[in-house]
Amino acid sequence: MTTVLICDDRRSVREGLTRVMSAVPGVHRIDCVAHGDELLARFSRQPVDVVLVGTQRAVPTGVEATRRLVAAHPQANVIVFGAPDDAGSIAAAIAGGARGYLRWDASRPELVAALAHTLASTAVPTPRAPADPGVQLTERELQVLRGMSQGKSNGQIGRELYLSEDTVKTHARRLFRKLGVRDRAQAVAHGFRRGLVS
């Protein structure tokens, strides 16, 4: 059974996420806090399995809350929520220790997959530098990476590029290998740092 803590300063967002998460199989308890200070205090007092932190364009509170929580509790499993086109907040939150991100309009299957992926990670992801610092991605791999940076699923990326979902997965595996990363979150963070996506 999974316990979840939601952090966002907007009451409507906290209530909306609570409604969505309460329908996710396996979620046992959901608590909410509004600010980073409350998040730290609550997690220190009663750790949870997954922390969902809302981000907003040009508002650093969500990113800062993520950074502070992971600095104090490296074992914390943080997923950030935000607009799919808010690449800056997504990249900053992942660089600050978030394990992944989801769009505000993520479907229930996407939520379930994100929770399962996050809980399956036994260690905080640490991007590894590629063996070849001058590694080059193909145009197709760059297109897939850009789609990931916008929070799109493999199916959505495939539809936009007129590719099957399996083909998108193949490109994703290749770009993960080239970048020396293990998953989408690391690939997107690496892509932002290297200027491969913006």
Residue 122 is predicted with a pLDDT of 39
Domains of the chain, residue spans: 2-120, 139-194
CB atoms within 10 A of CB 49: 18
Residue 134 is predicted with a pLDDT of 59
Computed over every residue of the chain, the mean pLDDT equals 81
Residue 119 pLDDT level (bands cut at 50, 70, 90): low
Residue 126 pLDDT level (bands cut at 50, 70, 90): very low
One of 3.90.1150.170, 1.10.260.40, 1.10.10.10, 3.30.70.100 is the CATH number of 139-194, namely 1.10.10.10
Mean pLDDT along residues 146-152: 82
Domain 2-120 is found in CATH 3.40.50.300: no
Residue 198 pLDDT level (bands cut at 50, 70, 90): low
Residue 128 is predicted with a pLDDT of 38
pTM assigned to the model: 0.61
